[in-house]
Chains A and B, each alone.
Chain A
Amino acid sequence: MSQTPETQQAKAAFIASKVGLGFWIYLMTDLVLFASLFATFAVLRNNTFGGPGGPQIFNLPYVLVETIILLTSSFTAGLVTISVSRANKRLALVFLAITFVLGLSFVAMELSEFSHLIHDGNSWTRSGFLTAFFTLVGTHGLHISIGLLWMLVMGYRIFKKGLTVNTIRQVTLLSMFWHFLDIVWIFIFSIVYMIGVL
């Protein structure tokens, strides 16, 4: 049947409002997941079982660089949203690519930190503290990786289809997801690393 542009627009807006609310609730559930992991870390952080503790293994300047990279990527993710709202497809793709590269470098740095730890015999099997550390930070890294995969798909879709109602809606969700992970990282940086080196 033929739909007038107005009803189509109203329908799209309704879908966007449903999906937006649903996604917000999903983010809150993810936050509870992280809260459980933070609580676990708080319980296990002194259970080093003779192995190294935070001060021995954390390299604060290195993690600070990671943090700055991730915060910058959040900024560029914001620029993607702005470009989309100005209907500038090329600029959106450029900023999406920059965000992707920054996110990828963050994951690479994290993996390098992990591999050094494992290489030194300080893997998750070493102690309760390291178990909690790897799981909390690793879960964040896994989320970032999912975000990167999402960016690839998103970029391809924007490239192919342009800025349609669907892609614009998904860019909004993606940037919400990305900012959310940023906030979680701030807590990881403060609670795990900064308090950890004390």
Chain B
Amino acid sequence: MFGRLTLGAFVHDPITEITIIATMLLALVGVIFLFKFKLIGWLWKNWFTSLDPKKIGVMYLCVAALMLLRGLADALLIRAQQATSVGASHGIVNADTFQQIFSSHGTMMIFFVAMGALFGIINMILPMQVGSRDVAFPLLNSISFWLFFGGVALINMSIIVGSFSNAGWLAYPPLSELAFNPGVGVDYWIWSLEIAGIGSLLTGINFIVTILKMRAPGMTLMKMPIFVWSVLCSMSLVTFAFPILTATLTMLALDRTIGTHFFTAGFGGDAMMYINLIWAWGHPEVYILILPAFGVFSEIVPVFSGKRLFGYKSMVVALVAITILSFTVWLHHFFTMGAGADVNAFFGIMTMIISIPTGVKVFNWLFTMYRGRIRLTTPMMWFLGFIVTFTIGGVAGVLMAVPAIDFEVHNSLFLVAHFHTMIIGGVVFGIFAGFTYWFPKFTGFTLNERLGRYAFWLWITGFCLAFIPLYILGLLGATRRLDHYVDAGWQGFFVIAAIGAVIICAGVGMQMLQIVVSIVQRKQNLVIDGDPWNGRTLEWSTVAPPPEYNYAIVPEVTERDEFWVMKKKGLQKKTNIVYEAIDVPKNSSFGIFIAVFASLFAFAVIWHIVWLVIVALIITILIIIFMLTRDREDDTISAKEVEEIELAAEKNRLYA
């Protein structure tokens, strides 16, 4: 009846059990609160079923923030274990739990924090930057978000019902094969990523079409804001890389579920094929994450330097070059495979070549700042932190691109330090910079600058303390994922790293405080005209927060920094504007239902509940057919309503 799902799946060790019960109680209180104050209906109507990309973006950010806390808790546990587990002492958790913790940390941070936050920012900013009222396929966008959420729900459920994967964040076979990992952990991992991955793929298609088809009149490709270019490149990578992930995960799932032999140790399977396939997705994936972060910085630096971006064209060429080259370097993740000198030399050289366009970007940002009138605001501080850490991490990366050196540091903490430098210094700082920069656009008030600066200094200090020791440890020979080591000489470095992790946590705490304080003191930081930073791109031309339709009158673009040019010419108060009625897509709950049944399908597959697999699949298909065959529905905001909204906003602008 329930496949391999038995009551035993709910039994864990006492510590986990207590955590689960506490979490459930907290969730229960939350749900009661929502119903008691009738908030659930409000959430459903205004948020969950909304097709407004700005709201979907906020939901992405909320989920990503929650998962950041989880990933951070995992990080603290890893650091605590490694700081204490030396010699006779075996630390705070056992080896199996430790494996689950580091698998969880990597999976959460890459798939649900970094991807989620970037999709959030892209959803909020991109349609406005291209001067559009919406994305190309609003309903598809909502489906993408809910599939992402389905993935989040599944992977978190694995802790409560069953266990988390203990095969690392990329689940290399043969360890992740049934023979060595008979539990449900790896299945949860596979299906959670399958569902979230399909969501990402759909998002990729959606944004490419949005950029190519929905730009404001006059905005030619070379007049697009650079962030839009970075998203176009990143989303092209999504559409070409994520199918590989889907195929690879499906193969692993088939191996585990119906007994195929793709990656098994016997029967002619080939485990190295998995490693090749997963990195053929995985390397583009890191550029999927970093390119939008590059885009964010390319928006911030010109604004806070008071200059136009240096070398716009070379920036675009660099982005496109990185996009193409990112598919030619995957083998550098496993030079030790033994592919031979020629193959390793090719991938080593390609890896060095890809650092050239990245270097071009670094110089462009620096030249943008050169002789600019720099305002050292929080977004700009995140940028400066980024440029230093990212360059150091990049140099470490080029070092490892030499196969002979890579053989020495392969799978060591040197590598762990390298990619954390790139992802924290690059992606995470980029997300924070973008969040601080665009926050006032969507709330109408800026974030507290002082607390933002404190948060930055805590982060950068903690970051250095946490990862510089790892570079040294890696060179000393410490491999990654050690739950125990004997050399007492390493312990000091691990303790410093642990202190660094705690300081990073303090930084996150400071950011939470910053948001709360900023909301409480919002009156002091109101953004009156919607343009707090003296911005250059179109999104700053609307009021803050922008109306659902973004632009009452679709702007006509003549220049690259269009809004800057408009301001230079002098903003003319347009009188006698004739407003037109605007169609906005009606709320829809299809996304939620598709995600619920797709996740149910995945859950049934994980636990081998055959009847539920069939039922959930049929219901999902029926919902999709029903969705595709119904007639399109739009709400229309009449011209009169648009005029009222615009006049009210105008009034606020004048009297606030």
The answer on a CB contact under 8 Å between B277 and A29 is no
> Scoring A residues 29 to 44 as 1 if CB is less than 8 Å from chain B, else 0, what string do you get?
1101100110110011
Among the listed A22, A40, A47, A134, which residue makes an inter-chain contact with B209, where contact means beta carbons less than 8 Å apart?
A22
B243 near A: Cβ within 8 Å?
yes
Chain B interface residue count, Cβ-Cβ cutoff 8 angstroms: 44
Please give me the 4 A-B residue pairs with the lowest Cβ-Cβ distance, nearest first. Answer: A47-B268, A128-B268, A49-B268, A36-B247
Given the known interface contacts A17-B213, A48-B268, the answer about A32 and B262 at a Cβ–Cβ threshold of 8 Å is: no
Q: Which chain B positions have C-beta within 8 A of A129? A: 268
Given the known interface contacts A40-B273, A44-B270, A127-B268, the answer about A132 and B262 at a Cβ–Cβ threshold of 8 Å is: yes
> Scoring B residues 240 to 268 as 1 if CB is less than 8 Å from chain A, else 0, what string do you get?
10111011100100100011111010111
Interface residues of B in 62-97 (CB under 8 A from A): none
Q: Which of B111-119, B200-208, B527-535, B538-546 forms part of the interface with chain A?
A: B200-208
Given the known interface contacts A49-B268, A166-B631, the answer about A32 and B243 at a Cβ–Cβ threshold of 8 Å is: yes
The docked-state distance in angstroms from the alpha carbon of A22 to that of B211 is 11
Shortest CB distance B212–A (Å): 6
Q: Which chain B positions have C-beta within 8 A of A15? A: 632
A111 near B: Cβ within 8 Å?
no
A153 near B: Cβ within 8 Å?
yes
The docked-state distance in angstroms from the alpha carbon of A132 to that of B264 is 13
The answer on a CB contact under 8 Å between A21 and B209 is yes
Given the known interface contacts A124-B260, A131-B260, A135-B254, the answer about A36 and B625 at a Cβ–Cβ threshold of 8 Å is: no
In this complex, the member of A47, A129, A132 whose beta carbon has the largest number of chain B beta carbons within 10 angstroms is A132
Q: Which chain B positions have C-beta within 8 A of A43? A: 270, 273
Shortest CB distance B202–A (Å): 9
The answer on a CB contact under 8 Å between A125 and B262 is no
Given the known interface contacts A127-B268, A134-B260, the answer about A29 and B201 at a Cβ–Cβ threshold of 8 Å is: yes
Interface residues of A in 112-161 (CB under 8 A from B): 124-129, 131-132, 134-135, 149, 153, 157
In this complex, the member of B247, B628, B636 whose beta carbon has the largest number of chain A beta carbons within 10 angstroms is B247
In this complex, the member of A40, A129, A134 whose beta carbon has the largest number of chain B beta carbons within 10 angstroms is A40
Q: Which chain B positions have C-beta within 8 A of A135? A: 251, 254, 260, 262
B130 near A: Cβ within 8 Å?
no
Chain A interface residue count, Cβ-Cβ cutoff 8 angstroms: 38
> Which residue of A has the minimal Cβ distance to B247?
A36
The answer on a CB contact under 8 Å between A40 and B277 is yes
Q: Which chain A positions have C-beta within 8 A of B136? A: 18, 22
The docked-state distance in angstroms from the alpha carbon of A37 to that of B243 is 10
Q: Which chain B positions have C-beta within 8 A of A149? A: 621, 625
> Scoring A residues 42 to 61 as 1 if CB is less than 8 Å from chain B, else 0, what string do you get?
01100111000000000000
The docked-state distance in angstroms from the alpha carbon of A111 to that of B644 is 63
Among the listed B205, B240, B247, B261, which residue makes an inter-chain contact with A22, where contact means beta carbons less than 8 Å apart?
B205
Q: Which chain B positions have C-beta within 8 A of A134? A: 260
The docked-state distance in angstroms from the alpha carbon of A36 to that of B206 is 23
The answer on a CB contact under 8 Å between A21 and B243 is no
The docked-state distance in angstroms from the alpha carbon of A166 to that of B631 is 8
> Scoring B residues 591 to 634 as 1 if CB is less than 8 Å from chain A, else 0, what string do you get?
00000000000000000000000000000010001001101100
Q: Which chain B positions have C-beta within 8 A of A166? A: 631
The answer on a CB contact under 8 Å between B205 and A29 is yes
The answer on a CB contact under 8 Å between B246 and A33 is yes
Q: Which chain A positions have C-beta within 8 A of B213? A: 14, 17-18, 21
The answer on a CB contact under 8 Å between B267 and A49 is yes
Q: Which chain A positions have C-beta within 8 A of B588? A: none
The answer on a CB contact under 8 Å between A1 and B636 is yes
Beyond known contacts A36-B247, A49-B261, A125-B261: 13 more, CB 8 A cutoff: A22-B136, A25-B209, A33-B243, A36-B244, A39-B277, A43-B273, A44-B262, A124-B261, A131-B269, A132-B262, A135-B251, A153-B628, A157-B629
> Scoring A residues 159 to 178 as 1 if CB is less than 8 Å from chain B, else 0, what string do you get?
00000001000100000000
B581 near A: Cβ within 8 Å?
yes
In this complex, the member of A17, A131, A132 whose beta carbon has the largest number of chain B beta carbons within 10 angstroms is A131
B137 near A: Cβ within 8 Å?
yes
Q: Which chain B positions have C-beta within 8 A of A75? A: none
The docked-state distance in angstroms from the alpha carbon of A131 to that of B251 is 9
30 contacts between A and B (CB under 8 A): A1-B581, A14-B213, A21-B208, A22-B205, A25-B205, A25-B208, A28-B240, A29-B204, A29-B205, A30-B243, A36-B247, A40-B262, A44-B268, A44-B269, A44-B273, A47-B268, A47-B269, A49-B266, A124-B260, A125-B260, A128-B268, A128-B270, A131-B260, A131-B262, A131-B269, A135-B251, A135-B260, A149-B621, A149-B625, A153-B625
> Scoring B residues 470 to 511 as 1 if CB is less than 8 Å from chain A, else 0, what string do you get?
000000000000000000000000000000000000000000
The answer on a CB contact under 8 Å between A29 and B631 is no
> Which residue of A has the minimal Cβ distance to B636?
A1
Shortest CB distance B170–A (Å): 16
Among the listed B205, B258, B277, B621, which residue makes an inter-chain contact with A36, where contact means beta carbons less than 8 Å apart?
B277
The answer on a CB contact under 8 Å between B137 and A22 is yes
Interface residues of A in 1-35 (CB under 8 A from B): 1, 14-15, 17-18, 21-22, 25-26, 28-30, 32-33
Shortest CB distance A131–B (Å): 4
Shortest CB distance B105–A (Å): 28
Shortest CB distance A81–B (Å): 19
The docked-state distance in angstroms from the alpha carbon of A30 to that of B244 is 10
The answer on a CB contact under 8 Å between A128 and B239 is no
The answer on a CB contact under 8 Å between A47 and B270 is yes
Q: Which chain A positions have C-beta within 8 A of B16? A: none
> Which residue of B has the minimal Cβ distance to A132?
B262
Shortest CB distance B559–A (Å): 25
Q: Which chain A positions have C-beta within 8 A of B201? A: 29
